[in-house]
Structure 1
Amino acid sequence: MTTYIVRRKLFAAIAGVIFVVLITLGKGQAKISTPKLASYFSSFYSIIDLGTVPKLPPAYGGLTFDPKDANRLLIGGLAGTQKAEIYEVRVKRAPNNHITGFNVASPIAKAPGIGKGGIDASLAYSPQGDVLFYTSYDDNSIGQIKRSSRIPTKQINLTSLGIASSTGALAFVPKGFVGENRLKITSYTTNTLYDTTITPDKAGTYNIVAPSKSIKLSGGLDAMIFVKAGKPGFFKDSLLIAEFDTNNVSAYQLDSKGDPIPSSRQNFIAGISYHSPTSLTGTIGATTDPLTGDFLFSTILENTPTKGRIFAVRSSAKTKVPTQLR
């Protein structure tokens, strides 16, 4: 078993007994690095610590906005456990619409895995906006929740589709990108990104087609954000990927088929979380604010093991464009 997998399994137990043990022994107090944008991207963006979400239990999981309500944020709590749930949070916004904080979280649905595990790095609505998808670690599954349900209405074992255990994350390709509406799934354990599609079943949920191709990347793949060319600092359609094992968020350019180009990898954020031999931290979820285009990342910080945090990355005002293009 690799060190990476050991770390991930420690994280999966973060909401259980090990949490209490670490706090009691005074562990988890290691110095933590401050998130820092890569030099190139620091010309375009700034990082804002939005803090914790009131009444949202650790560990924070995937997050997404309701496509019908841009002020309703959905996020996982007790991630990686059978007690995992999805919570709704009303965000607080400044007059310019940037998020400044969060109201109290309320549970809306259970999000367990199949037999073990629970919600991990991703929450995402289907392209039609009718079903909420979530990934579950470490049982390598995807759950689906209808809008009218408070429990999973369908769960799919990804191993049966040829996806290496364990996911990881998922993302639907947004409109305007090559391959829009296709489903991307990551295997955290094997650093593989899979490309597939969904098809409606007869129950109001979806089947997942066995992947048609896969790409090997690196870093401990978790949540993904698609970035359209023309956004500051991005001159080609790109993909941001949160890396649990490196504590970074990396940026990849997309090729003509809409897939990340492995050789194009570059740091976007470094040190957004921290690892040590007893670490229970990592960058997990990621989404885009539909009103401002800000990137949001959920994470666990080791020096406050009972709390998670959310960081926003937003465009800097009056940015001077560097002469060297990416």
Structure 2
Amino acid sequence: MMTSSVRKNVFMATAGGVFLTLTVIGQAQAATVTPTLAPYFSNSYSITDLGSIEQIPLAYGGITFQPGEPNTLLISGLADTPDGGIYAVEVSRDSNNHITGFGIPSFLAQAPGISTGGIDAGLAYSPKGDVLFYTSYPDNSIGQIKPGSSAPNKQIDLNALDIASSTGALNFVPEGFAGAGQLKITSYTGSIFYDTTITSDGSGTYDIVKPTRSVQLDGGLDGFIYVRAGNPGFVEDSLLIEEYDNSSVSAYTIDANGNPIANTRRNFITGLGFHSPISLTGVMGATIDPVTGDFIFSTFFEGEPSVSKIYAVTRVTKSTSVPEPRGVTWVFSTFVLVLSLLRNKISRFAQVGSE
């Protein structure tokens, strides 16, 4: 397994033969990447490879939908580099409203780090929908972009908040969940899930309160989404958390603060990437389709754009009304019905005779 200390740094060595080697070997290994749902979930969900958006630079990071525009997906390209940016793309849907493809993307905003690196796995709007937040790797920061801006209006050094360097992702707890409105931040290198809040700074952006609670997990934490109880396989409100080092997505039950309960971990998806000494790919961004509720994941790769992909996990629909088979069961049922009618008639004759 690729350790966190060397995660994604291969991307920086893009010169000459190193880049070519990454590309060739990455393409060969990509053919063997087969995301698999864990047995507990495999009968209730299916995974669809939605492919890549070739016009967006390689190495996808955070993804989210634009508030009030459920057919506009925001996705980052050139993740983890100073040239990282956020793009808006229209999705196409089938007759059941599931995403089937993407239109031509348009550039939305630059998303660099404070001193180095750039947008990572986190991309989410504030609870009011007025500011777009993103995490940056490896400089361990969070950027904020106001509507109409094409670059961050504010950047916060997470080292000053004692968040282990470097961060992976962020998200806000949706309404209806415990801890609604709180900001949650994952540390990729520390595999720690942090619990905090935001406060207005009076300039249209936000300050981040130093976290008072955290949960130690494992696997190199990146993007995460909240899943409501009642979805197949989820008896209680839960989290799906991407584990970059494990090339997987895991499910956790949440506590009264909207944080994962460490000992409730279950595999949800495995095999969503690969690691080798000279090439990396893994799951990065996560969001929920506001139209269908499908789980959407993006993957990161440092060598070839077509290997950076988007996957949708869809609930399997089953018929709620199954016709009765017309074989032996139907004959037996008919016999029972006729016998019942005959008994009723005999009983009525007996009553008439006794009168």
Counterpart for residue 282 of structure 1:
282
Structure 1 distance, partners of 2:146, 2:77, is 19
**What SS does structure 1 have at the residue aligned with 2:39?**
coil
Residue pair 1:54, 1:102 contacting (<8 A) in 2 also: no
Bigger radius of gyration, 1 or 2? 2
Q: In terms of mean alpha carbon deviation, does 220-229 or 49-58 score higher? A: 49-58
Counterpart for residue 97 of structure 2:
97
Residue pair 2:194, 2:211 contacting (<8 A) in 1 also: yes
Structure 2 distance, partners of 1:25, 1:268, is 29
Percent identical pairs in the alignment equals 57
Counterpart for residue 255 of structure 1:
255
Measured at CA, do residues 243 and 64 of structure 1 come closer, stay the same or move farther in structure 2, by a change above 3 Å? same
Structure 1 distance, partners of 2:74, 2:284, is 14
Q: How many residues align?
A: 317
Residue pair 1:32, 1:301 contacting (<8 A) in 2 also: no
Counterpart for residue 25 of structure 2:
27
**How big is the shift at 1:219?**
0.5
Q: In terms of mean alpha carbon deviation, does 115-124 or 27-36 score higher? A: 27-36
Structure 1 distance, partners of 2:17, 2:274, is 16
Measured at CA, do residues 318 and 206 of structure 1 come closer, stay the same or move farther in structure 2, by a change above 3 Å? same
Structure 2 distance, partners of 1:19, 1:63, is 31
Bigger helix share: 2
- TM-score (ref. length: structure 1): 0.93
1:184-223 to 2 correspondences below 5 Å: 184-223=184-223
Deviations 1:244-267 (A, max 9, x none): 000000000112332211111010
Measured at CA, do residues 294 and 18 of structure 1 come closer, stay the same or move farther in structure 2, by a change above 3 Å? farther
Is 1:166 paired with 2:166? yes
Q: In terms of mean alpha carbon deviation, does 243-252 or 293-302 score higher? A: 293-302
**What SS does structure 1 have at the residue aligned with 2:19?**
helix
Residue pair 2:51, 2:306 contacting (<8 A) in 1 also: no
Deviations 1:17-36 (A, max 9, x none): 37962348833223523000
Counterpart for residue 298 of structure 2:
298
1:1-326 to 2 correspondences below 5 Å: 3-11=3-11, 13=12, 16-17=14-15, 21-23=19-21, 26-28=24-26, 29-30=28-29, 32-300=32-300, 304=304, 307-318=307-318
**What SS does structure 2 have at the residue aligned with 1:168?**
strand
Give the residue type in structure 1 aligned to 2:24: G
Structure 2 distance, partners of 1:303, 1:254, is 36
Residue pair 2:54, 2:306 contacting (<8 A) in 1 also: no
Counterpart for residue 323 of structure 1:
none
**How big is the shift at 1:307?**
3.9
**What SS does structure 2 have at the residue aligned with 1:60?**
coil
Counterpart for residue 350 of structure 2:
none
Measured at CA, do residues 24 and 159 of structure 1 come closer, stay the same or move farther in structure 2, by a change above 3 Å? closer
Structure 2 distance, partners of 1:282, 1:222, is 10
Give the residue type in structure 1 aligned to 2:226: F
Structure 2 distance, partners of 1:19, 1:173, is 44
